Amino acid sequence: MNIASLVVRAFPADFPEIVEGLKKVPGVELHGQSAEKGNIVITIEDGAGWSVTDSILAVNLLPKVQGLTIAYEYTDEGLELTEV
């Protein structure tokens, strides 16, 4: 499982178009937005046929997105229980 939380930066007037674009990116879930600050908060989870990295790139390339910041990332890949 891979999960990332991002803050998407955009002009408030562009929020409706960006939100529609975000809904089309695999694994994206919207959590909130602040027109006052120009932020949209999302999480991305990997799934069958796409990776978190692919979806982060797709979000960054959406028209009118000014930038993004990865706020949190988690992976359980490579974690194995070891008895001591």
pLDDT in tens, 6-60: 999 999 999 999 999 999 999 999 999 999 999 999 999 999 999 999 999 999 9
CATH hierarchy code of domain 2-75: 3.30.70.920
Q: Residue 60: enclosing H or E segment and its boundaries?
A: helix 52-60
Higher per-residue pLDDT: 84 or 62: 62
- Residue 84: is its pLDDT beyond 90? no
Looking at residue 76, its pLDDT comes to 84
Q: How many angstroms separate the CA atoms of 66 and 76, rounded?
A: 30
Which amino acid does the sequence have at 75? T
Looking at residue 32, its pLDDT comes to 97
